[in-house]
Copies of this chain bind each other. A is one copy, B any other.
Amino acid sequence: MKQDLDHLMAERGLDAAVVSGLTYGNPTLIYILNGAAVSGGIVVKKRGEQAAFIHSPIERDEAVASGLRLINRGKYNMSAILEEKGNMLDATVELYRRIFAELDVHGEVAFYGMSDQGRAYLLLRALEEALPDIHVCAEYEEGLFDVARATKDADEIAQVRQVARLTCEVVAETVEFLRRHPVREETLVNADGMPLTVGQVKQHIHRLLAERELEDPEGVIFAIGRDAGVPHSKGRADDPLRLGQTIVYDLYPRAPSGYFFDVTRTFCLGYAPPEVERAYQDVADCLDGVIGAVRVGVETKQLQRVACTILSGRGHATIAENPQTEEGYNHVISHGLGLAVHEEPNFADASSNHQTLQPGHLFTVEPGVYYPSRGYGVRLEDVVWLDETGQLHNLTPLPKQLVVDM
C-alpha cells in the first residue's frame, strides 16, 4: 500500500525514489501521482517526506490533483539547459542535478517508471557517472512499487469494486444481446438475415463499455470454438456465432481512475456437448478449490500447484508435467490486478518465487482447459481480495452458467 512506501524504502536502504516518464502505459507513475490527469513528469520521493512532482508548466491545473508538492518544471528553463549542453542526454542529466540539489537528494536513489530501454540505460549510466552524491539503484524483481502496488487499501478497493460492477454488467448485457438474435441453421442471425459475427459482438461490447466510461486498451477476448481452445486467442472477427460451441469471453477494461478489472466466463449458446459439460465442471471445481486454498501466508505458487493437482486428477494434461503442452491446462492460475492488468503478486511455480499471500493482495483466479484440436476451450475467472484482516472477498458479482438458453 502507498502508506508502506517509507517502510519499504527503509528495507531496501533507499534514500529516494524517482518515478518518471509519460503517464500513458506507466502505472507506477499514475500510482504515485494519485491518478492526476497529466501527460507525464518527474516525481521525487525522499524517504520520510512527501513526494515532489516536477510538472509541465502547461499542466499546472491537472498537477494539483496529485496532492503532491508541486514544482513547475518551467523554473529550470530546460531550453536554456539544452542550449548550454548541446544534447538532450547531457541536458537531462543537468536537469536531474538541479532537481536533486534543490530537493537535497543524495545517497541511494532508485529509478522507476516506463521508458525506452536503451534511453534508460544511457541516462542512468550517465547519472551514475555525473552525480557523485548519488548512487543509482534499481531492482529487477519485487521492486519498491511492485510490492507497494500489490496490496490495495480500502480506497483502491472502492475504485476496483466500481469497475468490477460495470465490467460484470457489460458481460451480462452482452449475453442478453446474443439472446435477442434469432437462430437459423444453428447460427445466430442479425437484422439483415446475415450471420452475427464475433466482430459485430465486439463492436457491441465496445458500445457497452463506452456507455460506462470504460476503455478496452488491451483488447477483449471473445473467441469461439477452436479459438476458445487457445488461451490468448482474441477471436476472429468474421467467425459466426454458432450454437453448441464454447465461447471464452475474457474482459479486462480500465476505468478513468486507471484501475482495471478482469473477468472470464465461458458459455455455449443453446446447448453444450457432454464433453464440454464435463470440462466446464472440472474448471468450476478447480476455481472453487483454488479459492478455498487462498489464505494469508500461503506461498503464491501453492495456488498453481492446487490448480494443476485438481485438473490433473480430472484427467487433463497440465504444465506441471509438460511445460510446453498446448492441450489441457497451460498457463498460470492467477495474477495481481490494479493499475496494470498484470501486476504483482507473481504466482509462478518456480523455486525462485518465495512470495506469500498478504493482506491487501488483489488477484485473479482463472483455471482453464484447452483443446484446440477438439475445437473447444473453457476458462473461468474471478477476482478476489484479502482485506486487512485477511478475510477473503470475491469481487466478481457475476453468476456462472455454461448454457445460455436461446
Question: Residues of A at under 8 Å CB distance from B?
Answer: 20-21, 24-26, 28, 37-39, 56-62, 74-75, 77, 79-80, 82-83, 85-89, 91, 110-125, 136-141, 143, 203, 206-207, 209-211, 213, 215-219, 227, 230-234, 323-324, 326, 330-331, 348-352
Contacts and interface: CB of A to CB of B under 8 A. Distances in A.
Contacts of A119: 138-140, 143
Contact of A138 (B61, B114, B118, B206): B118
A87 B37 contact: no
B121 A58 contact: no
Nearest to A206: B210
Given A87-B140, A117-B123, A215-B216, 5 more contacts: A37-B234, A113-B117, A118-B139, A119-B143, A123-B140
Given A121-B120, A207-B211, A323-B79, A37 B89 contact: no
A323 B118 contact: no
A117 B217 CA distance: 22
28 contacts: A20-B117, A24-B217, A39-B232, A57-B324, A58-B330, A61-B227, A62-B233, A62-B234, A74-B323, A77-B324, A80-B323, A82-B350, A83-B351, A83-B352, A87-B141, A88-B140, A88-B352, A91-B352, A110-B118, A111-B117, A114-B114, A116-B143, A121-B125, A121-B136, A122-B138, A122-B139, A122-B140, A207-B210
- Residues of A contacting B: mostly: mixed
Contacts of A121: 111, 120-121, 124-125, 136, 138
A116 B113 contact: yes
Contacts of A209: 210
Contacts of A91: 352
A294 to B, nearest CB: 23
Contact of A331 (B58, B115, B143): B58
Say how many copies of this protein the assembly contains.
2
Contact of A89 (B141, B211, B217): B141
Contacts of A219: 37
B25 A56 contact: no
A384 B112 CA distance: 36
Contacts of A326: 57
Contacts of A211: 207, 210
B218 A24 contact: yes
A312 B348 CA distance: 61
B115 A117 contact: yes
Given A80-B323, A330-B58, A89 B206 contact: no
Nearest to A86: B352
Contact of A82 (B56, B85, B231, B352): B352
Given A57-B330, A210-B210, A117 B122 contact: no
A352 B94 CA distance: 15
A260 to B, nearest CB: 11
A207 B209 CA distance: 9
A62 B218 CA distance: 13
A362 to B, nearest CB: 19
Nearest to A227: B61
Given A57-B326, A87-B141, A350-B83, A114 B111 contact: no
A379 to B, nearest CB: 11
**What 5 A-B pairs come out closest when comparing CB atoms?**
A25-B25, A210-B210, A118-B138, A117-B120, A120-B120
